[in-house]
Each structure stands twice: as C-alpha cells, then as structure tokens.
Structure 1
Amino acid sequence: MRLRNKPGALDTIKNSPQYILMDGTDWKGKWQQRFEKPHPIHIEVGSGKGQFIVGMAKANPEINYIAIELQTNAIISILEKQLEEELPNLQLLLVNGADLDEYFETGEIAQVYLNFSDPWPKTRHEKRRLTHKNFLQVYEKIAQPEAELHFKTDNQGLFEYSLGSLSQYGMTLQKVWLNLHDSQFEGNVMTEYEEKFSKKGQPIYRLEAKFN
C-alpha cells in the first residue's frame, strides 16, 4: 500500500524521541527502560497506521507494546495517535522487520503479532512473507521460551501457506479460526484493513501458535 507523503514527517519523528526510534540497536536488551513500568513486551511486525497496536495498548496496560513499521508515512500515523494518547506502554520503531535480532536481545519478547501482512503471492517472493522460515528464525531468536505468535489475514492463500510454514518449522498450532468474525472469539481488536475487508463480507483468518 502506497501512502501519501506527510510534510514534516521526519521532523515529527526527531521531535518525539520519547516515543519513536529510527534505530533501536542501542536499546537491545534494555527495552524495559523505555517504558514507565516493566511488563511483558509484545511486538507487532508491520503495524501500518497503528489502529491495532494502539487499541491493544489502551486495552492492556499490563503489557508493553512496540510497533514495528518500515514505512515512514505509516508510522507517522501511529505516532500522531500516540502523541494524542500518550500511552506509557507503547513505543514505536521505524526499522525493517527482517533485522529484529539487531534490536532485541535473546528472550526479550513475550509475543509477536502479524496482522494483514503483504501476501507476496508470487513463488519467487516467498522469502518476503513474514511467516517464511527465515522470519520465524528471527522471531524465535528474540522470543522467550514458548512465546506465542498471533497472525491475522484476509488472504486465504497466505493463511494456508502460514499454517504449513509454522507447522514445518516445528511450532505448535494452538488455535485456528477460518472465519474470526463468525466465531465466539472475545476481545478482538481490529486493524484498519480488517474493518475494510470484514465490511465487504470477507472472512478473516486467525491463528495462535507457540514456539517450542
């Protein structure tokens, strides 16, 4: 998704160092110091405009959240929400999700969220999918023992691929939803894409898996 350039985006980032970083290497192993209180750290890889992670941070003050996004114009939308809300349990990181082990220490993360990731449907782009084994290796490296990965998408092909990829990697699939909004799941926080696709009647797929 291509977003419009926001005038002054970099200035906004530079003027908000308490909430957002463009390089997290100096905080590797020390992320708890960026939060008001020490709590389990959950990360969302590819946070888009941030509706999900801001909603989660508001609903769960006992958890610390980090939004990870590569697109400057997307993360600015999250930062604008954070500047308005001033949530003490939310931090933003403008980096590539493929390099997370450069920013987080082994065992520093309690949970990983992947929401409506780019499906990269062509076979030659398989390694770009956020549920490819190369990404799973990075998540596992920074995750605590038996940490969980939660994944949502509207793309059936990506969901089927992810089920296979996680299983082959040796993760334990705990729960699977083939139509999340037609289930009894409680506490769902929707992303912008999820609202858009669900209004069109498209099923939302979701899974919860655990690293072993």
Structure 2
Amino acid sequence: MRLRKKHFAIPEMHENPYVFFEGQKYKGKWREVFGNDNPIYLEIGAGKGKFTIESAMINQDINYIMVDFETNALIYGTRQIIERELTNVRAMPINAEHILDYFEENEIDRIYINFCNPWPKVRHQKRRLTYPSLLDKYKIILKPNSQIYFKTDDLDLFQDSLDYFSLCGYSTLIADFDMEEDEYPQNIVTEYERKFRNLGEKIKFGVFEANVN
C-alpha cells in the first residue's frame, strides 16, 4: 500500500544527523560513523522503522542501519532515533538494488527483511528483496557465515524465497511456516506482523546463513 506523500519527510530528514542521503561516502567506514567496533545489523525495507528502533533500544551494544527507498514511511523511524536518543541507529533512504554502493565487502554482521512487498506478478518478481540478484549482493556485504532473518505473511513469497536462498548458496537454518509467538520470545512484533496475526494469517519465518568462501 502506497503511503500518502509527506512533503515534509525529505526536508526533515535532511536536518536529522542520523540520516545519510550520501551514504556512499561511508562505504567501508560505518564503524567509524558509529565510533565503535560493535556488530552492525542492517534492516532492508525498514518501513516506519519499528523493528529497528525497538531492537536498538534492547541491544545497545549493536549498531543498526535501516534502509528504505520510501521516505514517506522512513520519516517516522528517523524521528524515533532522535526522540529516543538512539546513538546506535542510522538510516538511509535508498533502493536495495544499489546496496553495494553503500557497504563494503564483509561489513555487515546480520540482515533483516520483514514483511517486504511480495510482488506476486511474475513480471515484477525481480523486485522482491529476496530475489537471487539481491541475495548475491547481500552475500558480498555480509561477513562469512552471517545470517539473513526473513519474515513474511505471504506463502508464495516464502516458498519462492526458500528456493532463492538455496540457489544462491545459503544454508537454511530455520524454515518455519507457522511462527508461534511463544516459541520466539525475542521476536519483535512489527505493525504488519500484528495486523496479519489479528487476521489469522500464519507468519512465515526463515533464517539463512551466507556461506561465503
């Protein structure tokens, strides 16, 4: 669902020191940006940022970067960085297609993809955030044997993604077609996840390890 255009979003984010519109300058230098050697977790397609914000509040010893090309959504997460004084969070309004322009090889410790657009039409499936062309790029920026955590309500997307990950040489550590909340006490329930659970939809969850030689 496309959000109504927020004309204030981009100007406001330009004033936010935790938002990077020219993140290419920091490729390979993100630990310098954070000023520490803590692990860096990346959420791709972060939307309004609820997952990253809550994760960063709980895990102060982990650095988080949330990216999404939809500034009308991302603005809400970037506000929370300021309001909650989260020095371990940064944000970039970028398209995942260009992820290699922003991160160096082996720079990221973990990737999260939560409830991305399923792009059900065959002609659009290359836009999926789990499509092989993107998974190959993620493998480059991930440290060896790091993981991608993936959640969705869409069965077709999940089944196809299992094939995508296998095709790209990832090991499947978890492939849960009905993610029960009490089995994952550390799970952060996003806005979309709560919505789909309330509708009786089964949540699909996978963890995939990037086997980098």
Q: What residue is the counterpart of 1:143 in the other structure?
A: 142
Question: Are 2:140 and 1:110 equivalent residues in the alignment?
Answer: no
Q: Which blocks of at least 5 consecutive residues in structure 2 are unaligned?
A: none
Show the counterpart of 2:93.
94
Instruction: Give the aligned partner of residue 179 of structure 1.
Output: 178
The aligned residue for residue 15 of structure 2 is: 15
Offset, 1:82: 1.2
Partner deviation per Cα, 1:76-113 (whole Å, 9 max, x = no partner) = 01111112111111100111111111000000001111
TM-score with structure 2 length normalisation? 0.95
CA apart distance, 1:181: 2.4
SS in 1 for 2:109: strand
What CA distance in whole angstroms lies between the structure 2 residues aligned with 1:198 and 1:66? 27
Percent identity among equivalent residues? 37
Aligned ranges for residues 23-172 of structure 1 at < 5 Å?
A: 23-172=22-171
Q: Partner residue of 1:3?
A: 3
Q: Secondary structure at the match of 2:117?
A: coil
Instruction: Give, in whole Å, the separation in 2 of the partners of 1:119 and 1:159.
Output: 9
Q: Distance in 1 between matches of 2:106 and 2:210?
A: 12
For residue 89 of structure 1, what is the amino acid of its counterpart? N
Match for residue 191 of structure 2? 192
Contact 2:151 2:206 in 1 (8 A): yes
**Contact 1:36/1:89 (<8 A) preserved:** no
- Bigger mean CA deviation after superposition, 3-12 or 88-97: 3-12
Q: What residue identity is the alignment partner of 2:170?
A: M
Return the alpha-carbon distance in structure 1 between the equivalents of residues 131 and 13 of structure 2: 31
CA distance in 2, matches of 1:61, 1:129: 31
* TM-score, with length taken from structure 1: 0.96
Count of matched residue pairs: 211
Residue 36 of structure 1, CA deviation: 4.5
